[in-house]
A and B are shown apart, each in its own frame.
Chain A
Amino acid sequence: MTDTRREFDDLFFSLYLPVMVVVVVVVYALVAFVLLRRRDRPSPKREAKVKEGLYAAGLATIAAVLVGFTFRAETRVDAVAERAALEVDVTAFQWGWRFAYPGGRTVVGTDRTLPVLVVPAGETVRFTLVSRDVIHAFFVPELRFKRDAFPHRPTRFDLVFDEEGSFPGTCAEFCGLRHADMRFGVRVVPRARFAAWLREDA
């Protein structure tokens, strides 16, 4: 089970963002201090080797902590479950999407309507993503996740859609003339409704 959104939020709001805010506050405060104080003679000191060494060690520690937590989160985000509840084949092409479900049901858009990816809530969905022409990218902002679609090289990943609802998906990799229009919808429905939908008109 990979809750990509929670992994992003935990890492970003509990670690990365606070670290950045502290650094910004410290540097901006130092610059303000320099601009506001009165001091006519500079200190003649040219180096402070011990302080610089300690400081570098501190920086390395910060880097190590960030990387450590990133590795932990990434292992979970990239994990592929042994068995998925549903497998969807996604084909990206200039400029649209094709979602193929088990049992033969496929979804494609038309000139006027966007294709809608329908998935069951709370289940692990296995995606196999490939492109028919140039590089595209499958991007669902709500899940904080994207993956590139290459021609001839299918890629697999698992996603879990926790909450029911509808939200947008797009192609994120620039793919030519109508890249801006290469969008799709995501609709997350309860498990039972999904089963019914899958049977509707295969």
Chain B
Amino acid sequence: MTVALERPRPRGLLAWAASTDHKRIGLVTLAGAFVAFLVSGVLALLIRSELAWPGNQLLSNDAYNQVFTMHGSAMIYVFMTPAALALGIYLVPLQIGASAIVGPRATLLGTWLTFTGAFVSYSGFVTGSGAARDGWTAFFPLSDQAFSPETGMDLWLVGTTLTLVGSLIHGTTILATVLLRRAPGMTMLRIPVFSWSMVATCLMVLPSFPPAIVGFLLLLADRHGVNVYDVVNGPLEYQHLFWFYAHPVVYVMFFPLVGAVAEVVATFARRPFFGYSATALSLLVFAALSMSVWGHHMFTTGNVQNEYFSLTSTALLVPAGIEYFGIVGTMVAGARPRLTTAMWFAIGFVLLFLLGGLSGIIVASPTLDYHVHDTMFVVAHFHYTLFGGSVLGLFAAVYFWFPKVTGAFLREGLGKLHFALFFIGMNLTFFPLFVLGYDGMRRRVADYPGDAGFTTLNLVATVGAAVVALGVVVFLVNVVVSLRRPVPAGDDPWGAQTLEWWTSSPPPRENFDRPLPPIRSFTPLLDLREEEERRRVA
């Protein structure tokens, strides 16, 4: 006989922070990541303000270096990676008809580690010598004790390592959930496109995060007397470990949003996603190839096989092109789309990620990269992928699933205003950087010569950043208004296709309060509606 010990259930904030419900863990992770987005966004505004005119107006060189370092670090380690994984934590169990995530406590630990790490890393700002200032890359030997003696660098290494371990755990539990917890009938070729994107994402997390964790810990040891990288090849070896993680992570931050956009587009085009199996296959090919492209960040070192890495990197355009084929093909084969805010963000994703992806093909060519590497061109390139792609995709997901998560719609009017500000502001901010980089303006500089011809475009970029900031404010207002005066959404407000819309909004603790419908394809709810229609006609 077992005796159940009654313990008081935690309430309030602790009920959220200590919950093993994957939905709460997912939301807490997303909320924490969003805080990092806001803080790093403020740092971005500082960067753009400093660069608006030549000369140092706002920040000293040293302050600027800390600001751009923490902007990039927090955006990548604490915002986009955890946010992308948080979508998986929340949605994957629902999409595959499971009642829980595999390893709920481990998943919760992952979230705690992620944000403990963020605190440790950010805490550099309150030390006497300031935060880390060696970029999100922390290249050796600049990051060695001799050149960066500050405590902030140690805190950055410890914090970033903790955050990476947290994300690694998340990747593990999400993958295990897809593999082990699918509902009866939910074969691997019937899981929704978003869940496929999470499978590919986790398959990249597992092999690519450990090298960075090891690389950072060795750097920490090196800074404290253990000579690891302090050999002739050391600086190169550090870069290999770093980029072996840091290229795949770009797709870790991106794939889940490809999946999210695919769901949004299919729903509002009112048809199943076009080319499902080709897209699933292309995601897997993409993930596999992504493990072999890291050296394209090292073309200008003159110390890697440039041809090899150029070949593998350029080859990525094949699976990427197939994913575009699927998304655009779904739109073309669909009905005239319902232009909800989520759909607008998805369209923005399609239009803007394209520029990021195509400029990625340019930097995959060593001859072209010799010129644009480490210039504003690269800054423009990865912001078109990460802002134009991932951030717009993330907001498509937020507007799409908000009714499911809260039971209430976000306001459409404010949402469209938010989209317009993001779309315009983003282009104003980052398109000029393509031109500036081509004209030879470097990245990671607090100042540029007044006679270099960089001033006008920098000013335009700064104005653009302010427009984006306004968009963030509109979004926050939208969330507050929509929660204060909720417009009830019901279980399936969009006429969607996958299982998370089968349950109530928000879903109960065990996810499904009624038996699942039969699962005969990756769009069980659509099948159900079509069946009903056939029955009505007959």
Chain A residues within CB distance 8 Å of chain B:
4, 7-8, 11-12, 16, 20, 23-24, 27-28, 30-31, 33-35, 37-49, 52, 55-56, 59-60, 62-63, 66-67, 70-71, 73-74, 77-78, 94, 133-135, 137, 139, 141-142, 144-148, 150-153, 155, 157, 168, 170-181, 183
Interface residue ranges of B366-393 to A (CB < 8 Å): 366-368, 370-371, 373-375
- A157 proximity list for chain B (CB < 8 A): 302
CA distance A98 to B519 in the complex (A): 70
Q: How far is the CA of A78 from the CA of B339 in the complex (A)?
A: 51
Known: A146-B371, A150-B235, A177-B62. A39 touches B335 (CB 8 A): yes
| Cβ contact of A27, chosen from B278, B354, B362, cutoff 8 A | B354
User: Do the beta carbons of A27 and B324 come within 8 Å of each other?
Assistant: yes
Cross-interface CB contact of B444 among A31, A38, A62, A179, cutoff 8 Å: A179
Contacts of A41 in B (CB 8 A): 335
Chain A minimum-CB-distance residue to B443: A174
Determine whether the beta carbon of A146 is less than 8 Å from that of B336. Answer: no
B254 at the interface (CB under 8 A from A): no
The answer to whether B331 touches A34 (Cβ under 8 A) is yes
A25 to chain B, nearest CB (A): 11
Q: Which residue of A lies closest to B523 (CB)?
A: A46
**A30 and B333 contacting across the interface, CB-CB below 8 Å:** no
> Is B446 interfacial (CB-CB < 8 Å)?
yes
Task: Select one of A24, A59, A135 contacting B142, CB under 8 A.
Answer: A135
From B134, B141, B370, contact of A151 by CB (8 A): B141
Are B333 and A151 in touch, CB under 8 angstroms? no
Q: Please tell me if B17 contacts chain A, counting CB pairs below 8 Å.
A: no
Given that A56-B322, A67-B314, A134-B147 are known contacts, is A40 also in contact with B336, CB under 8 Å in the complex? Answer: yes
Interface flags, B308-321, vs A, CB<8A=1, else 0: 00110011011001
A156 to B178, CA, bound (A): 51
Q: In the complex, which residues of chain A have a beta carbon less than 8 angstroms from the beta carbon of B65?
A: 176-177, 179
Residue numbers in B under 8 Å from A30 (CB-CB): 328, 331-332
Task: Tell me, in angstroms, the Cα distance from A184 to B78 when the chains sit together.
Answer: 37
Task: Point out the residue from B328, B365, B445 that lies within 8 Å of A31, measured CB to CB.
Answer: B328
The answer to whether A34 touches B367 (Cβ under 8 A) is: no
CB of B271 within 8 A of CB of A146, answer: no
Cα(A42)–Cα(B274), bound, Å: 11
What's the Cα separation between A6 and B318 when bound, in Å? 29
CB atoms of A144 and B370 under 8 A apart: yes
Some 28 contacts from A to B, beta carbons below 8 A apart, are A8-B370, A20-B358, A33-B332, A34-B332, A40-B335, A43-B271, A43-B334, A46-B276, A52-B275, A55-B321, A56-B318, A60-B315, A77-B366, A78-B306, A142-B440, A146-B374, A147-B300, A147-B370, A153-B232, A157-B302, A168-B449, A172-B373, A176-B65, A176-B133, A178-B61, A180-B442, A180-B445, A183-B449
Task: Collect the chain A residues with CB atoms within 8 Å of residue B278's CB.
Answer: 47, 49, 52, 56
Q: How many residues of B contact A (CB 8 A)?
A: 79
Q: A77 to B300, Cβ gap below 8 A? A: no
User: Residue on B with the closest CB to A12?
Assistant: B368
CB–CB B444/A174 < 8 A: yes
Inter-chain CB contacts under 8 Å: number: 220
CA distance A83 to B318 in the complex (A): 42
Bound-state Cα–Cα, A38 to B334, Å = 11
- Residues of B near A137 (CB, < 8 A) are 300, 374
In the complex, what residues of B have CB within 8 A of residue A31's CB?
328, 331, 347, 350-351
Chain A residue nearest to B279 in the complex (CB): A52
Which residues from B are CB-within-8-Å of A78? 306
Q: How far is the CA of A33 from the CA of B336 in the complex (A)?
A: 10
- A38 x B336 contact (CB < 8 A): yes
Residue of B nearest to A150 (CB): B235
In the complex, chain B residues whose CB is within 8 Å of the CB of A155: 302-303
Query: Chain A contacts of B133 at CB under 8 A?
Result: 176
| A35 contacts across to B, CB distance below 8 A | 336-337, 339, 347
Q: Which partner residue on chain A sits nearest B312 by CB separation?
A: A67
A-side contacts of B329, CB under 8 Å: 48
Whether B277 and A8, one on each chain, are in contact in the complex, defined by CB atoms closer than 8 angstroms, is no
Interface-central residue, A39, A141, A151, A179, by most chain B CB under 10 Å: A141
Interface positions of B (Cβ within 8 A of A) = 61-62, 65, 133-135, 139, 141-142, 147-148, 232-233, 235-236, 269-272, 274-278, 300-303, 306-307, 310-311, 314-315, 317-318, 321-322, 324-325, 328-329, 331-337, 339, 347, 350-351, 354-355, 358-359, 361-362, 365-368, 370-371, 373-375, 439-440, 442-449, 452
Name A55's closest neighbour in chain B (CB-CB).
B325
Residues in B with CB closer than 8 Å to A150 are 235-236, 301, 303
Q: How far is the CA of A13 from the CA of B455 in the complex (A)?
A: 25
- Collect the chain B residues with CB atoms within 8 Å of residue A71's CB: 307, 310
Contacts of B322 in A (CB 8 A): 52, 55-56, 59
By a CB distance below 8 angstroms, the chain B residues around A44 are 271
Which listed residue (A42, A70, A148) contacts B269, Cβ 8 A?
A42
The answer to whether B446 touches A23, judged by C-beta atoms less than 8 angstroms apart, is no
CB A189 to nearest CB in B, in angstroms, measures 22
Count chain B CB atoms within 10 A of each CB in A45, A62, A150, A171 and give the residue with the most.
Answer: A150
A169 to chain B, nearest CB (A): 9
Check A63–B317 contact: CB distance below 8 A. Answer: yes
Chain B contacts for A67, CB-based, 8 A: 310-311, 314-315
Q: For B347, what are the chain A residues with a Cβ–Cβ distance below 8 Å?
A: 31, 35
List residues of chain A with CB within 8 A of the CB of B361. Answer: 16, 20, 66
Name the one of A34, A42, A55, A74 contacting B270, with C-beta atoms under 8 angstroms.
A42
**In the complex, are the beta carbons of A43 and B333 less than 8 A apart?**
yes
Contact among B300, B331, B371 for A141, CB-based, below 8 A: B371
CA distance A55 to B133 in the complex (A): 46
A133–B272 Cα gap in the complex (Å)?
Answer: 58
Chain B residues within 8 Å of A179, by CB: 61, 65, 444-445
- What B residues does A42 contact at CB under 8 A? 269-271, 333-335
Using Cβ atoms and an 8 Å threshold, which residues of chain A touch B235? 135, 150-151
Q: Given A63-B315, A70-B366, A180-B61, are A148 and B354 also a contact pair (CB < 8 Å)?
A: no
In angstroms, Cα B319 to Cα A59, docked, is 9
Residues of A within 8 A of B328 (CB): 27, 30-31
Closest 6 CB pairs of A and B: A141-B440, A42-B271, A180-B445, A144-B371, A172-B374, A70-B365
Q: How far is the CA of A46 from the CA of B280 in the complex (A)?
A: 14
B367 touches A77 (CB 8 A): yes
Bound together, the chains give a CA A169 to CA B444 distance in angstroms of 16
B452:A168 contact, CB within 8 angstroms: yes
Complex Cα spacing A4 to B318, Å: 29
